[in-house]
Chains A and B, each alone.
Chain A
Amino acid sequence: MVKELFYFLVFPGLLFSAVIGGFLSWFDRKITARVQFRQGPPLLQPLYDFLKLLLVKETILPKRGSQLTFLLAPVFALFGATMAAVFILLPAFGIATGFAGDIIVVIYLLNIPSVSYILGALAAGNPLANVGASREMKLILSYEAPFLLVLLMVVIKAGMVISFSEIVAYQQANGAFIGSVSGVIGFIVLMMCIQAKLALVPFDMPEGEGEISDGITIEYSGTPYSLIFLAKYIMLFVLPALVVSLLMSGLPLQGWHILWSVLKILLIVLLITLVRNTNPRVKIRQAMRFFWVWMNLLALIAVILAIFGL
Chain B
Amino acid sequence: MGLKEKVFKKSLWLFHLSAGSCNNCDIEILDCLTPRFDVERFGMKLVGSVRHADVILVTGIVTKKTKKRVLEIYKQAPKPVLVVAFGSCSCTGGIFAEGYNFEGPLDKVIPVDAYIPGCPPKPEAILAGIVKLLNK
Contacts and interface: CB of A to CB of B under 8 A. Distances in A.
Chain A interface main SS type: loop
Interface string A19-60: 000000000010001001111111011011101100111111
Contacts of B79: 57-58
B52 A55 contact: no
B43 A48 contact: yes
Contacts of B51: 60, 218-221, 225
Interface stretch (A83-91, A191-199, A209-217): A209-217
A94 interface: no
Interface residues of A, number: 34
Contacts of A49: 11, 43
B108 interface: no
Interface residues of B, number: 21
Contacts of B35: 36-38
B38 A55 contact: no
A245 B76 CA distance: 45
Interface string B72-106: 00001011100000000000000000000000000
Contacts of B10: 42, 44-45, 48, 52
A132 B38 CA distance: 29
A221 B52 contact: yes
B49 A42 contact: no
A58 B79 CA distance: 5
B48 A213 contact: yes
Given A213-B49, A214-B49, A220-B51, A55 B41 contact: no
Given A56-B7, A56-B8, A221-B78, A214 B48 contact: yes
Find the residue from A42, A51, A56 having the highest chain B CB count within 10 A.
A56
B38 A209 contact: no
A125 interface: no
A36 B43 CA distance: 16
Interface in B46-83: 47-49, 51-52, 54, 76, 78-80
B3 interface: yes
A260 to B, nearest CB: 32
Given A33-B40, A36-B35, A55 B11 contact: no
Contacts of B7: 47-48, 51-52, 55-56
Interface of B: 3-4, 7-8, 10-11, 35, 38, 40-41, 43, 47-49, 51-52, 54, 76, 78-80
Interface of A: 29, 33, 36-42, 44-45, 47-49, 51-52, 55-60, 209-210, 212-214, 217-222, 225
16 contacts: A38-B38, A45-B10, A51-B3, A52-B7, A52-B11, A55-B7, A56-B8, A57-B80, A60-B51, A60-B78, A209-B47, A210-B48, A218-B48, A219-B49, A219-B51, A220-B52
Q: Which 8 A-B pairs have the closest CB atoms?
A: A213-B48, A209-B48, A58-B78, A48-B10, A221-B78, A48-B11, A221-B51, A51-B7
